Structure formats: C-alpha cells, structure tokens
Amino acid sequence: MDETAERWMTTVHDEEVELPSTIADVRAALPEDRRAAFDTEIGTTPGPDLPLRLAMWALRTVPGAIEEMDEQVDRLRAGDYSGVTVLDDHDGEAT
C-alpha cells in the first residue's frame, strides 16, 4: 500500500481492517478477473462520485465485507435500528 495515501479503515465482523485507498492499490488487491470491470467503472465515474465508487471496490477486497453491509442494510430496511448512532443536526455530537 502507498505509504503516502490516507488510510481507510472499517470494521468487518467486529474487527478493524485497513482498506486499500488509492486506485492503484484497490486494483492490485482485486482478483485479476475483476480488474477489467474495475477499470471500466472507475474510468467512467464522474469526479464527485469517485470516492464512493472506489470505497465500494475497496470493500470487495475484504472477505465478507459486502455481505455484512448488505445484512446491515436489510436490517435497517426491516426497521431494526438497534446499535444505530444518530448525529444531532445542530452540533454534530452523537446522541
């Protein structure tokens, strides 16, 4: 990983993991058969959308990360907000 790049951290299965955070590092971390799709998507992504798209590809480099995220979204859609921290709109502090 490029030592000058900002570190991206996330939690997967209750463990903190570091994600690749540059286009080159994400590409290198992907299986070879996914790199062409990555190149196409990143190459056609508008600048403002690039961080989110890159982060989603970075998550694909961590086994189980996408599945865990999908499970969390399904839980929220079902109305289960347990463990959710809401930020107050006025001061940014967690409530």
The domain total for the chain is 1
Residue 29 resides in a domain: yes
* Per-residue pLDDT in tens (0 to 9) along the chain, 95 residues: 556 568 899 999 899 999 999 999 999 999 999 999 999 999 999 999 999 999 999 999 999 999 998 999 999 999 999 888 887 655 555 54
Residue 91 resides in a domain: no
Residue 82 resides in a domain: no
* Domain of 68, in residue numbers: 8-77
Question: Whole-prediction pTM value?
Answer: 0.74
Sign of CA dihedral 51, 11, 78, 70: positive
DSSP, residue by residue, 19-74: EP-SHHHHHHHS-GGGHHHHHHHHHTS-GGGHHHHHHHHHHTTSTTHHHHHHHHHH
